[in-house]
Amino acid sequence: MFTNLYQLNLKWIIRDRVLQALVGVALLLLVLVPAFSVLSMRQVQELSITLSLSFISFVLALLAILLGASSVWRDIEKRYTSAVLTLPYSRGSYLLGKFFAIAVCLVCSAAIFTLVAAVAISFSSGLYQSSLPIRWLHIFTAVAFDVLKYVLLVAIAILFSSISTSFFLPIFGTISLLLAGNASQEVFEYLTKDSVGVKTAKPLLYAAKGIYYLIPNLGAFNFKVSAIYPVALSSQGVIYTLLYFLVYTTIILYLAVYFFSRREFP
Amino acid sequence: MKALEITGLSKIYKTKKAGVVNALSDLNLVISSGEVFGFLGPNGAGKSTTIKAIMGLIKPSKGDALIAGVPASDPHSRLNIGYLPENPSFYDFLTGREYLYFIGTSFHMADNLLKSRTNEVLDKMELSLAADRPIRGYSKGMVQRLGLAQALLHDPEIYILDEPMSGLDPLGRALVKNLIKELKAHGKTIFFSTHITADVEAVCDRVGIIVNGELRAVDKVESILEKGITGYNIHVRTGGDISLFSGFDFTERDSGILEFYTSRALFKQFMEIVVHANCEVDLVEPVRKNIESFFLELVEKR
Amino acid sequence: MIRKVLFIALLGSYVAVIVPFSSYLGNRSIVNKLGYMPEAEIVKFALGDLRYLASQWAVFKVMLYFGGMVDNDINKLKLPPEYPGMSRMISNAVRLDPYNMDAYYLAQATFVWDVKDSAKEINKLLIYGMRYRTWDYYLPFFAGFNSAYFLHDYNSAAEFMKKAAELSGDPLFTTLSARYFHEAGRTELGIMFIDSMEHSAKDEKVRTSYHTRKEALLNAQKITDAVNRYREKQNVDPNTIEELISKGFLNKVPVDPYGGKFYLSKNGRVESTSKFAFGGQSR
Ligand SMILES: Nc1ncnc2c1ncn2[C@@H]1O[C@H](COP(=O)(O)OP(=O)(O)O)[C@@H](O)[C@H]1O
Ligand SMILES: [Mg+2]
């Protein structure tokens, strides 16, 4: 029943030529990783890992924002809603079908990219001996958390789409939250550091705390440092971030379904 | 059995530009099972608003709608409905057949039944040739026929069709009329909206006339037609003596036939004269207003 | 009803997760907090004009964690500083935006003092910046100071100062000739530099860090003065600071604001266990 909607949306993503183009460009760029990496004479391996992770992150961000923000909007804009929302589905399964289809698309794209990146990294590191071993587990963890981060972002895009009629709120709202979410930890620490450096006014401090706990903490999903440099992976960090992802995404989807169920499609 | 039960349904749209729009006020309507109901009204009367409320697309400001006893807000209420939206638009990256597959699985149809039904409805809607092309390339009429096909696919008991004839050529309109008659013969319930009176006359059991969001009249099509009789044309063969008929207008025909017109009120009196004069009656034909004039009267009456 | 309960349960779990989660985030090591930034060339390529923002963001991050180090020092917390990560960020920042003055300023305010033997690298960075900020006298001024104070290359220092003088039109710089550098004491030179920097510092944390350093240098200077007087009077070098006090050359042991203890090294120079650096003791 629900899988039906989910398959429908997967079909939509696959038939969308934008996606193919994006995947093509991404694959091309990943193949170019070794070529770029040799530009750095000293740290070919580090650079190839950095490059690969950056590309994967960049493409996943694009996919998450474009697919997440456009999926519901397009159905409304092209008036598909009057046909599909009048089928015996709840509004919730309609929305979750979209969410899971896009999430699966992100996971699959990331898997393909990682595979290609692994080849590119192995090849590049063979060109110039590095003093550091390649820690594949750390690299895969970094990509996995990147995927989780963008899955969360898809949920946010869907929440915005569920309350907005325009394309702008989902797109720009999601992009703003992506930027803010990446920075929230730093800004929060800067403002709340009880130090001589910053004297934050009390109301501003409360506002900062409120915003910090409200918006997604996307910076936490960044495990790239331990994939690139010899820094230990914190198992505590992995577990907390995973839990945070689950709870936060569930809340966002809950709200999206709540608002979407109350929405009218005249 | 009540297929549809609408009580006190009202809808007020609040818009920034147009302000408050009373799209529908206090609509009460019961459609019983097996009935073909025509929902007739001019553009902007509130027909689509009613249908959207039944289909759960919009929330009524007041009142509610039950589909076979289940509230419209419950998605299960739609399991037994075939719905054709107004100016439909379907996922255009799918082919017609794929779309029907999606619809069929949405209604839990078994795979082999779904396959045979798909071919059946495509055939019926004359879409077999286009079935494997993406909907993106369909013409307006083809999309409309696909809309009917997807409404028919799971063989529901109740059909809710918003302007099913719009966008179709005369052949298509005839196709739809025959389809409705066929469904009626199979005991299905059909609720359809239209602004064309001839469609109502052709296929409906009952008609509801809505103007400016208010239901002005609900009646059997037969009885509207019957009530609409204003007088009769009567062809009489007289022996030549026409003095008895003084006071009635007539025109004389070549073959000694007199063509009378009597108003409804004087018909009995006229017929008594006929009997008295021992004339031969060739033809009695009621003269009536059609649904169109009935409709126009209602629309113009404020 | 069920939905309400579900939602409240969700919010409850959010609170339950967010507390340990944010405390874990707050306690991450600086290298993790700084995160990784892709090579400047890639960021440039991906971000286009946004790279100026990225450059500033990198500086902000370094500033934030440098500030964190200042705080930790004040609060007597011991966290090993993460200089390689911070210097990576700064070098990325100037490659993204070679005009980014904050990056040069921050490099001059932090690494050159706190990281041993970094003056050469920093001067390279400053020379790179001079190619772009051709009007700016700060860069040659920094480079000149580094050459004199850290590298003892007084001729280059005088060259840089001459350039700074030309650009600023300030007569102060012209007095900073090679001869001056030879004659002035090292501590005095440091104080002179810090004095001018402290006034121009915009960021409060940087100012604090300068202030602390000046205090340390001034206190060290007090001891150095006492040592010099001792030498003059006694014709020998003092062995300890306590000796200076017991013989009346100093009333009390000046405090090292970095939390270290002053001592006299073998050749009679004033040093501190803190090495005059944040987190110096733990290194
Ligand atoms: N989304 C909307 N916002 C405001 N007014 C609307 C909206 N949809 C319909 N209306 C108004 O409600 C009235 C009924 O519309 P509708 O039910 O679509 O008429 P029709 O009988 O032609 O299907 C019209 O006056 C229309 O302008
Ligand atoms: Mg309509």
Rounded Cα gap, residues C181 and C189, in angstroms: 8
Per-residue pLDDT reduced to its tens digit, B157-191: 999 999 999 889 999 999 999 999 999 999 999 99
C8 inside 8 A of chain A by CB: no
Per-residue pLDDT reduced to its tens digit, B22-46: 999 999 999 999 999 999 999 999 9
Confidence of residue A241 (pLDDT cuts 50, 70, 90): very high
Q: What is the DSSP string of A115-154?
A: HHHHHHHHHHHHHS--SSPP-HHHHHHHHHHHHHHHHHHH
Domain range annotation of chain A: 2-261
Confidence of residue A36 (pLDDT cuts 50, 70, 90): confident
ipTM score of complex:
0.86
| Mutation for C interface: A229, A233, A239, A253, most C CBs within 10 A | A229
Output the pLDDT for position B125: 94
**Contact: chain B with chain C (3+ CB pairs below 8 Å):** no
Section A15-23 average pLDDT: 70
CB within 8 Å: A234 and C17? no
Using a CB cutoff of 5 Å, list residues around ligand 2, an ion.
B 48, 86
| Ligand 1: residue whose CA is nearest its atom 16 | B46
Span from the CA of B29 to the centroid of ligand 2 (angstroms):
18
B78, B86, B94: residue with CB nearest A88: B78
Cβ of residue B203 lying under 6 Å from some atom of ligand 1: no
Output the pLDDT for position C226: 85
Averaged pLDDT of chain B: 90
Section A69-82 average pLDDT: 91
Averaged pLDDT of chain A: 86
Span from the CA of B161 to the centroid of ligand 2 (angstroms):
11
Q: Which of C245, C238, C233, C247 is nearest to C267 (CA)?
A: C238
Output the pLDDT for position B253: 75
Output the pLDDT for position B274: 82
Q: Which residue in A has a C-alpha nearest to residue C61's C-alpha? A: A186
Which atom of ligand 1 is found nearest the CA of B213? Answer: 14
Ranges of chain C with pLDDT below 50? 75-79, 279-283
Rounded Cα gap, residues A203 and B180, in angstroms: 68
Span from the CA of A35 to the centroid of ligand 2 (angstroms):
61
Share of residues in chain B with pLDDT > 90 (%): 64
What tokens appear for C217 in the block?
A: 């240098």
CB within 8 Å: A84 and B55? no
Confidence of residue B234 (pLDDT cuts 50, 70, 90): confident
Task: Using the CB atoms, write b or e for B219-248: b if 16+ within 10 Å.
Answer: eebeebbeeeeebbebbbebeeeeeebeeb
**Contact: chain A with chain C (3+ CB pairs below 8 Å):** yes
CB within 8 Å: B13 and A266? yes
| Ligand 1: residue whose CA is nearest its atom 13 | B23
Residues C171, C176, C178, C184: what is their CA dihedral angle, to the nearest 10 degrees?
150
Output the pLDDT for position A157: 96
Per-residue pLDDT reduced to its tens digit, B80-98: 999 999 999 999 999 999 9
Q: Are A1 and A89 a contacting pair, CB within 8 Å?
A: yes
Query: In chain B, where does the domain assigned CATH 3.30.70 lie?
Result: 229-288
Confidence of residue A194 (pLDDT cuts 50, 70, 90): low
Chain C residues in contact with A197 by the CB 8 A cut-off are 67, 70-71, 203-205, 208
Cβ of residue B48 lying under 6 Å from some atom of ligand 1: yes
Chain A residues in contact with B83 by the CB 8 A cut-off are 86
B263: distance to nearest CA of chain A, Å?
48
Q: Is A42 a residue whose pLDDT tops 70? A: no
User: Any idea which fold B2-225 has?
Assistant: Rossmann fold (3.40.50)
What tokens appear for A90 in the block?
A: 């709840």
Output the pLDDT for position C70: 60
Output the pLDDT for position C82: 67
Question: pTM of the prediction?
Answer: 0.81
User: Any idea which fold B229-288 has?
Assistant: Alpha-Beta Plaits (3.30.70)
